[in-house]
Amino acid sequence: MSVRIQQEPFDFGAECDRFAAGRSDTGAVVTFCGIVRDDGGLHAMEIEHYPGMTASAITAMVDTARTRWALTDALVIHRFGPLGPGERIMMVATAAPHRADAFAAAEYLMDYLKSRAPFWKKERTAEGAHWVAAKEADEDALSRW
Amino acid sequence: MKLDVLYFAWVRERIGEPRETVDTDATTVADLVRELSAREDRYALAFSDLSALRVAVDQELTAFDAPLAGAREVAFFPPMTGG
């Protein structure tokens, strides 16, 4: 299990390759990559986080996922700092003997990362800068777990 | 007791600093919020709608009625937008 909080980019392909390599106890690997989306006029997205809390909060989510699904491994990478449109923000990878567990754990981790990991996004456009508001739908998504 | 109080995102911008050390007798987070809000307008403004805020005590998410006994660090921030 690995949780990395970093400013620098990560190589999504290389991370997926490394994560999937050399496993004989695993029949399924699920990966997700989050990308900075430009809905029109986005110059940059700045991601702030709470350094003392971020890694421990995400590690706790991974630990909970391990108690609920038969995971053989999990990886979360999340970036902070200024990011441009199209840049990769974060990734989740889960490994399990069977795919249902790998898919469910990846979705669970994504839902919790959205609303319970201490990150805040600020979008810069030609009109100025604004903090991205949390969506009610993201909060509601937690109720299914 | 001395507490490190941290602010993130627009809470940090409204208060004008990322962290400070506060000498307080507050027994709950809500007490601390009242104490800070009474200090200056920038705090009162930042804390005017608690439903728009989240709080962590010693880096664990908690509620505004949480006790502060033994706490070292309190952080205030808007709902999180990770992922």
Q: Give me chain B's average pLDDT, please.
A: 97
Instruction: Please report the pLDDT score of residue A40 as a whole number.
Output: 87
Q: Is B56 on the interface with A (CB under 8 A)?
A: yes
Distance between A135 CA and the closest CA of chain B, angstroms: 8
In a domain, B16, yes or no: yes
Which of A105-130 are b and which e, b meaning 16 or more Cβ less than 10 Å from the residue's Cβ? bbbbbbbbbbbbbbbbbbbeeeeeee
Task: Please give the average per-residue pLDDT across B50-72, as a whole number.
Answer: 97
* Inter-chain residue contact B80 with A131, CB threshold 8 Å: no
Q: State percent of chain A over pLDDT 90.
A: 94
- DSSP letters for B41-81: HHHHHHTS-GGG-EEEETTEEE-TT-B-TT--EEEEEPPP-
User: What tokens appear for A80 in the block?
Assistant: 């902070």
Of A53, A89, A132, which has the smallest distance from its Cβ to B59's Cβ? A53
Question: Is B67 within a domain?
Answer: yes
Q: Are A73 and A102 in contact (CB under 8 A)?
A: no
Q: What is the pTM of this model?
A: 0.94
Here the CATH number for the domain that contains residue B70 is: 3.10.20.30
Nearest chain A residue to B83 by CA distance is A114
- A81 dihedral zone (left: phi>0; alpha: psi -120 to 50; beta): left
| Contacts across the A-B interface (CB distance below 8 Å) | 68
Please report the pLDDT score of residue A42 as a whole number: 95
Asked whether residue B43 is assigned to any structural domain, the reply reads yes
Least confident stretch, A22-26, A117-121, B30-34:
A22-26
How far apart, in whole angstroms, are the C-alpha atoms of residue A99 and residue A26?
9
Contact A134 B6 (CB under 8 A): no
Considering the domain boundaries, does residue B36 fall inside one? yes
pLDDT, tens digit, 9 for 90 and up, residues A5-26: 999 999 999 999 999 999 999 9
CB proximity list for B5: less than 8 A, separation 6 or greater: B19, B20, B21, B22, B32, B36, B73, B74, B75, B76
Structural domain span for residue B62: 2-77
Give the closest-approach CA distance of A28 to chain B in angstroms.
22
Instruction: Name the band, by pLDDT with cuts 50, 70 and 90, for residue A115.
Output: very high
* DSSP H or E stretch at residue A129: strand A128-131
CB contact under 8 A, B75 and A120: no
Q: Residue A133: what pLDDT?
A: 93
pLDDT in tens, A45-75: 999 999 989 999 999 999 999 999 999 999 9
Question: A71 and A102 in contact (C-beta within 8 Å)?
Answer: yes
In a domain, B46, yes or no: yes
Domain A2-132, CATH among 3.40.605.10, 3.40.50.10380, 3.90.1170.40, 3.30.750.200: 3.90.1170.40
Task: Give yes or no for a contact between A131 and A59, defined as CB atoms under 8 angstroms apart.
Answer: no
pLDDT cut 90: percent of chain B above it: 100
The chain-wide mean pLDDT, for chain A, equals: 96
Residue in the structure block whose two tokens are 């109080």 = B5
Inter-residue contact A82 to A44 (CB < 8 Å): yes
Number of domains in chain B: 1
In a domain, B83, yes or no: no
Tell whether B82 is covered by a domain.
Answer: no
How far from A122 is each of A88, A130, A138, B49, CA to CA, in Å? Answer: 16, 6, 17, 20
Q: Give the pLDDT band (50/70/90) at residue B63.
A: very high
Mean pLDDT to the nearest integer, B58-74: 97
The answer to whether residue B65 sits within a structural domain is yes
How many CA atoms lie less than 13 Å away from A34 in the CB half-sphere?
21
Interchain proximity B79–A119, CB inside 8 Å: no
pLDDT, mean of residues A87-106: 98
**Mean pLDDT value across residues B1-17:** 97
Residue A53 contacts B where some CB pair is shorter than 8 Å: yes
| Cα separation, A128 vs A88, whole angstroms | 23
Residue B9: predicted pLDDT: 98
